Amino acid sequence: MRTVVIDGPRSVRLETRPDPALPGPDGAIVAVTAAGICGSDLHFYEGEIPIPGPVALGHEAVGTVVDAGPHVRTVQVGEQVMVSSVAGCGACPGCATRDPVTCSAGLQIFGSGVLGGAQADLLAVPAADFQLLKIPDQISTEQALLLTDNLATGWAAARRADIPFGGTVAVIGLGAVGLCALRSALAQGAATVFAVDRVGGRLERAAAWGATPVMAPAAEAIIAATGGRGADSVIDAVGTDASLIDAINAVRPAGTVSVVGLHDLQPFPLPVLPCLLRSITLRMTTAPVQRTWAELIPLLASGRFDVDGIFTARMPLAEAVTGYAIAGARSGEQVKVLLTP
């Protein structure tokens, strides 16, 4: 099979490897029909997260089940499925909550060096009953692909931001996760959403979706726009030192900062005393992907929640190197790349 592999900063290639074996009697093999390039993949691509050796990339996939072990009950060969980017054992008390983050054996993420990469022809999926979900008829391929990670992450970020009905939210970073968080914040009751970024095209897109655009750093502008109070909730979808400080400075006293951006491996200089004196709640989240499906799928299927416009480029798997260059440019014209094996 073909799979996208990285072995160093900006060193991506398409490699032929043996087809994966069935990962146990509760596992399945999925023929990937669509895979996404995620902002998290760019941390490998740009060398921000070191890798020990060649890594098969990708953790967002939808496809067709082509093989399943005898213990698999919820999906069948031939069915179209989405694959949760975050995997758990599926059998422990933590996984019983539908949150792989609380798996007793520890969460695993596809395309990070342990499980196979989703940007490939085939993907081996352990604990298939937990990781896979048959795609409902009303859900499009692009919606299903967003449900595997970016939309689940943006939705969870908004959930954990303690957004009051009619409240004010700031979303820092307008990549795919940030835009999903923006739409999630509006769906969860925010009256005003400040959309924060450094790229003009991204700010224009957020404004077209009903947000108030603010050039980063944004704390001063948000404080002024809220009469000196600050935002009720801030969602940081970037995760750098600069964005975290901006988020902490932009939130009101007793407000919540919800972080889903991926920080580097260096310690963050948290201003503990100002946070303590202002009673700020700080939350950091890896998305409970499977748990979000019960809420998001009915909203998408009914048409009451719109995520159109997140994918802006589609290309075959053979052009993955170009896809990574597009994603890495972080331009105002492109948001997210979809690869089609």
CATH number, domain with residue 191: 3.40.50.720
For residue 116, pLDDT beyond 90: yes
In contact, 201 and 179? CB cutoff 8 Å = no
What pLDDT score was predicted for residue 51? 86
Residue where a domain terminates, one of 260, 284, 308: 284
Alpha-carbon distance of 83 to 59, in angstroms, equals: 8
In angstroms and rounded to an integer, the radius of gyration of the C-alpha atoms of the chain is 20
Q: What is the CATH number of the domain that holds 44?
A: 3.90.180.10
The H-or-E segment that residue 69 falls in is none
Q: Are residue 260 and residue 320 in the same domain, yes or no?
A: no
Q: Which residues contact 261 (CB under 8 A, 6 or more apart)?
A: 172, 173, 177, 236, 237, 238, 239, 240, 243
Three-state DSSP class for residue 250: helix
For 41, the domain range is 2-149+288-339
Q: Do 332 and 268 belong together in one domain?
A: no
Determine the Cα angle at 300 with ends 294 and 303, to 5°.
Answer: 140
**Domain tally, the chain:** 2
Model pLDDT, residue 20: 98
In 3D, which of 223, 248, 237 has the Cα closest to residue 168?
223
Please state the rounded mean pLDDT for residues 301-314: 95
| Tens digits of residue pLDDT in 9-52 | 999 999 999 999 999 999 999 999 999 999 999 999 999 888 88
Name the residue among 116, 125, 108 with its Cα closest to residue 66. 125
Q: Using CA atoms, how far apart are residues 338 and 145, in angstroms rounded to an integer?
A: 9
* Model confidence pLDDT, tens digit, residues 235-253: 999 999 999 999 999 999 9
Give yes or no for residue 232 having a pLDDT over 90.
Answer: yes
pLDDT at 52: 83
Average pLDDT, whole number, for the chain? 97
125 lies in the same domain as 238? no
Domain edge (last residue) among 284, 301, 318 = 284
**Distance separating alpha carbons of residues 261 and 216, to the nearest angstrom:** 15
Instruction: Note whether 203 and 259 are same-domain residues.
Output: yes
Q: Give yes or no for residue 193 having a pLDDT over 90.
A: yes
> Given a cut of 90, is residue 53 above it in pLDDT?
no
* pLDDT for res 284: 97
Q: Are residues 144 and 7 in the same domain?
A: yes
Comparing C-alpha atoms, which of 90, 94, 84 is closest to residue 71? 90
Q: What is the mean pLDDT of residues 123-138?
A: 98
57, 12 Cβ separation under 8 angstroms: yes
pLDDT score of 265: 87
**Pair (7, 142) in one structural domain:** yes
Helices (H), 67-218: 93-96, 128-131, 141-147, 150-159, 176-187, 200-208
Q: Which of 50, 49, 41, 32 is nearest to 5 (CA)?
A: 41
Residue 341 has pLDDT above 90, yes or no: yes
Nearest to 326 by CA among 203, 280, 315, 71: 315
Q: What is the pLDDT of residue 28?
A: 98
The answer to whether residues 234 and 170 touch, using CB atoms and an 8 Å cutoff, is yes
Residues 93 and 184 placed together within one structural domain of the fold = no
What is the spatial distance between Cα 275 and Cα 168, in angstroms, rounded to a whole number? Answer: 19
Whether residue 293 sits in one domain with residue 241: no
Residue ranges of E strands in the chain: 2-6, 12-16, 28-37, 55-56, 61-68, 80-83, 86-87, 108-109, 122-125, 132-134, 168-172, 192-197, 212-215, 231-236, 251-259, 281-284, 311-316, 336-340
**68 and 140 co-located in one domain:** yes
pLDDT score of 45: 95
Task: Tell me the pLDDT band of 86, cut-offs 50, 70 and 90.
Answer: very high
Residue from 136, 133, 132, 179 nearest 154 by CA: 179
